[in-house]
Structure 1
Amino acid sequence: MQITDSAHGEVTVLQCEGRLTMTTARPFREAIEARITGGTTRLVLDLSATEFIDSSGLGALIAGLKRARQAGGDLRIAGAGTQVLTVLNLTNLDRVLRPHDSVEEACDGW
Structure 2
Amino acid sequence: MIEFKVETRDDGIGVVTPQGRLNMVAARRLKEVLGGLVGDGTSRIVVDMAETTFLDSSGLGALIGGLKSARQAGGDLRVARPTESVLNVFRLTNLDRVLRPRDSVESAFDE
**2:41 aligned with 1:39, yes or no?**
yes
Distance in 1 between residues matched to 2:105 and 2:70, nearest whole Å: 17
- Cα deviation per residue 1:58-103 (whole Å; 9 max; x = unaligned)? 1111111011101111000001000000000010000011001111
Q: Which amino acid aligns with 1:90?
A: L
Which residue number corresponds to residue 88 of structure 1?
90
Which residue number corresponds to residue 58 of structure 1?
60
Q: Which amino acid aligns with 2:4?
A: I
**Unaligned regions of 5+ residues in structure 2, if any?**
none
Distance in 2 between residues matched to 1:23 and 1:66, nearest whole Å: 21
Tell me the CA shift for residue 8 of structure 1. 5.2
TM-score for both structures, normalised by structure 2: 0.93
> Which residue, 7, 12, 15 being the options, matches 1:13?
15
Q: 1:8 to 1:16 in 2, by over 3 A?
A: farther
Distance in 2 between residues matched to 1:10 and 1:25, nearest whole Å: 24
Q: Which amino acid aligns with 2:37?
A: R
Q: Which amino acid aligns with 2:72?
A: Q
Tell me the CA shift for residue 16 of structure 1. 1.3
**2:100 aligned with 1:103, yes or no?**
no
Tell me the CA shift for residue 45 of structure 1. 0.4
Superposed CA RMSD in Å reads 1.0
Tell me the CA shift for residue 108 of structure 1. 1.4
Extract structure 1 runs of 4+ deviating beyond 3 A: none
Higher helix share: 1
Distance in 2 between residues matched to 1:81 and 1:91, nearest whole Å: 16
Distance in 1 between residues matched to 2:94 and 2:103, nearest whole Å: 18
Distance in 2 between residues matched to 1:108 and 1:38, nearest whole Å: 23
2:17 match: secondary structure: strand
2:36 match: secondary structure: helix
TM-score for both structures, normalised by structure 1: 0.94
